[in-house]
């Protein structure tokens, strides 16, 4: 009789081949065909906040959901990309070619029109429109929700099935993107007093003074951080009403999330890559937190936060701390975005990702899973459309070896867990960026404990405390981390 783990591996590879065929055929057809939706958008959806569907989507354990197609791999499944111009029937065919737990879709366009409707511009004291976009996207919510309701309705009526939809929606109202004239228009809008209250500002504050504090953010006494948190919540609420509401009306068990959308409370504030003490009080998009870890180091290296920010190990500590901040801040499950192993950063030298193309990259994935108590990740491996995945790529493009690295890392941690899923992370507290060893652990659903210890360069051993026991862990030859068996 064939061993169960062998059967699982063959099934995974078969599923990957099935999806590979879909990605080259049916999905390409879906991209090329569109549907014309009626001009009448119908009723307004989402007038009230949307409560995310409870529970977790039934995702296949130890699978990375990839941005772009890969060669068939047992632990990688490519997400189906779609938009409202996709023919719902093509998406149905794609969903039926995927096994349960891998029917995961990705869209960067479902939110088109959400934040830029002309009817959502700012108003003056008399209620007249001014020529600056506001931060109250009510017409955008109604327009997008009506389109999504019709799309998901057609999809489900045709027999479509979906485990999870991830968005790549990166627009916001943060202090970094708001021009001075727009901030002045927003603070002068008659609707702004309610926003000021959320910002914790007294009602006597002059709108122009508030705008000026946000413009001169370095001297705002942290107001820009509160602004970013509050307005991120506005955007998340709009996305949940515009897309989450229609999605859960037709697919009530589906997971839903957005790149980089997560909850980090002020008490768990986390230094971003530039050293700003980021927090995001929520709501978040959907029912999964999606922090992104890439090892990127920006101005955090020069703002005085202790640590060797040129060292890959410090980037590893930083990535683990982000996932742990999310876990401490919310009980929503975590699906972390990881970059491909050889990713150097957004631009050569600015910013850089010190653990890219090092073995600390694998460690970042292990610690993200253990710290998050989860068995899945999103895998960012952007490739030009129609690129031959077996051909040698251009510099800066993910390689076949990158895809194999994420596949191998997930296979290794699955082996350590004996194929069981994690039910509870055991280490969620932040670590100092001067630490020389990092330990993460989680319990599986059968009660087994899986632990990983990673070592800074030059460190050969560490005494770590796991489940009340102090364990002396040696660094294996040629490795930067070790699995620990805890009795």
pLDDT digits (tens, 9 = 90+) for 172-198: 999 999 999 999 999 999 999 999 999
Q: Would you place residue 390 in the very low, low, confident or very high pLDDT band (cuts 50, 70, 90)?
A: low
* DSSP label of 421: P
Which of 391, 393, 389 is CA-nearest to residue 343? 393
pLDDT attached to residue 17: 41
Q: What average pLDDT does range 77-97 have in this prediction?
A: 96
Q: What average pLDDT does range 103-128 have in this prediction?
A: 97
Q: Among the listed ranges 42-56, 79-93, 105-119, which one has the minimum average pLDDT value?
A: 42-56
| CA 322 to centroid of chain Cα atoms | 12
Domains of the chain by range and CATH?
4-172+238-424 (3.20.20)
- Residues in contact with 401: Cβ distance below 8 Å, sequence separation at least 6, in sequence order: 341, 342
Residue 461, pLDDT > 50, answer yes
Q: Would you place residue 24 in the very low, low, confident or very high pLDDT band (cuts 50, 70, 90)?
A: very low
Rounded Cα gap, residues 219 and 386, in angstroms = 48
Residue 3, pLDDT > 70, answer no
Which of 415, 340, 364 is CA-nearest to residue 61? 415
Tokens matching residue 128: 């007249």
Residue 16, pLDDT > 60, answer no
pLDDT attached to residue 56: 62
Tokens matching residue 483: 């699995």
Q: What average pLDDT does range 254-266 have in this prediction?
A: 97
pLDDT tens per residue across span 394-413: 777 899 999 999 999 999 99
pLDDT attached to residue 12: 40
pLDDT attached to residue 277: 95
Phi-psi region of 406 (alpha: psi -120 to 50; beta: other; left: phi over 0): alpha
Q: What average pLDDT does range 340-361 have in this prediction?
A: 84
Residue 23, pLDDT > 80, answer no
Which of 350, 486, 345, 339 is CA-nearest to residue 417? 486
pLDDT attached to residue 239: 98
pLDDT tens per residue across span 34-60: 332 222 222 333 445 666 655 566 999
Task: For 10-73, give the DSSP string.
Answer: HHHHHHHHHHHHHHHTHHHHHHH------S---SPP-SSPPPPPPS---PPSSEEEESS--S-B
- Residues in contact with 82: Cβ distance below 8 Å, sequence separation at least 6, in sequence order: 30, 91, 105, 106, 107
Mean pLDDT of the chain: 88
> Residue 457, SS3?
coil
Rounded Cα gap, residues 19 and 78, in angstroms = 7
Residue 220, pLDDT > 90, answer no
**pTM for this model (two decimals):** 0.88
CA distances (Å), origin 69, targets 32, 112, 244, 384, 411: 17, 24, 26, 10, 19
> Which of the pair, 10 or 180, is modelled with greater confidence?
180
Rounded Cα gap, residues 381 and 365, in angstroms = 15
For 305, list phi and psi in degrees, rounded to 5: -80, 120
CA distances (Å), origin 474, targets 166, 417, 482: 40, 21, 8
- The single residue listed with the structure tokens 């999806």 is 19
pLDDT attached to residue 384: 77
- 481's enclosing H/E stretch is strand 481-485
Residue 19, pLDDT > 50, answer no
Task: For 268-297, give the DSSP string.
Answer: G-EE-TTS-EE-B-SPPSTTSB--EE---B
């Amino acid at each position: 009789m064939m061993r169960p783990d062998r059967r699982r591996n063959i099934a995974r590879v078969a599923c990957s081949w099935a999806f590979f065929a879909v990605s080259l055929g049916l999905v390409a057809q879906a991209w090329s065909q569109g549907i014309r939706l009626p001009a009448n958008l119908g009723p307004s959806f989402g007038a009230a906040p949307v409560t995310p569907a409870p529970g977790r989507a039934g995702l296949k354990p130890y699978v990375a959901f990839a941005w772009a197609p890969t060669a068939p791999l047992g632990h990688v499944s490519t997400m189906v990309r779609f938009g409202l111009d996709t023919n719902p029937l093509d998406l149905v065919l794609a969903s039926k070619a995927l096994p349960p737990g891998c029917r995961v879709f990705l869209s960067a366009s479902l939110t088109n029109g959400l934040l830029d409707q002309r009817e959502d511009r700012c108003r003056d004291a008399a209620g007249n429109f001014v020529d600056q976009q506001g931060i109250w996207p009510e017409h955008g919510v109604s327009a997008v929700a009506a389109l999504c309701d019709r799309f998901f309705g057609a999809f489900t009526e045709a027999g479509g099935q979906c485990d999870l939809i991830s968005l790549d929606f990166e627009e916001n109202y943060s202090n970094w993107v708001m021009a001075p004239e727009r901030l002045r228009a927003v603070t002068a809008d008659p609707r702004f007093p309610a926003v000021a209250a959320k910002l914790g500002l007294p009602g006597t504050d002059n709108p122009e003074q508030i705008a000026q504090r946000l413009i001169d953010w370095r001297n705002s006494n942290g107001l820009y951080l509160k602004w970013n948190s509050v307005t991120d919540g506005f955007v998340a609420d709009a996305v949940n009403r515009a897309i989450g509401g229609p999605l859960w009306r037709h697919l009530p068990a589906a997971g839903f999330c957005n790149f980089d959308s997560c909850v980090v409370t002020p008490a768990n504030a986390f230094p971003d890559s530039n050293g700003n003490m980021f927090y995001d009080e929520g709501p978040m998009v959907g029912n999964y937190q999606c922090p992104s870890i890439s090892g990127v180091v920006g101005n955090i290296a020069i703002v005085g936060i202790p640590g060797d920010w040129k060292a890959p190990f410090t980037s590893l500590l930083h990535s683990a701390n982000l996932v742990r901040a999310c876990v401490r801040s919310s009980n929503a499950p975590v699906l972390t975005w990881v970059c491909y192993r050889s990713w150097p950063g957004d631009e050569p030298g600015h910013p850089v990702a010190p653990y890219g193309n090092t073995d600390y990259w694998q460690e970042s994935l292990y610690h993200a899973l253990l710290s998050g108590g989860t068995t899945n990740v999103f895998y960012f491996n952007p490739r030009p459309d129609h690129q031959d995945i077996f051909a040698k790529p251009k510099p800066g493009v993910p390689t076949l070896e990158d895809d194999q690295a994420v596949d191998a890392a997930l296979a290794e941690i699955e082996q350590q867990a004996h194929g069981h899923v994690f039910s509870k992370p055991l280490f969620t507290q932040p670590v100092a960026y001067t630490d020389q060893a990092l330990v993460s652990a989680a319990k599986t659903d059968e009660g087994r404990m899986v632990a990983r210890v990673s070592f800074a360069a030059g460190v050969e051993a560490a005494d770590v405390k796991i489940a009340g026991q102090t364990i002396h862990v040696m660094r294996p030859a040629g490795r930067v981390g070790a699995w620990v068996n805890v009795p």
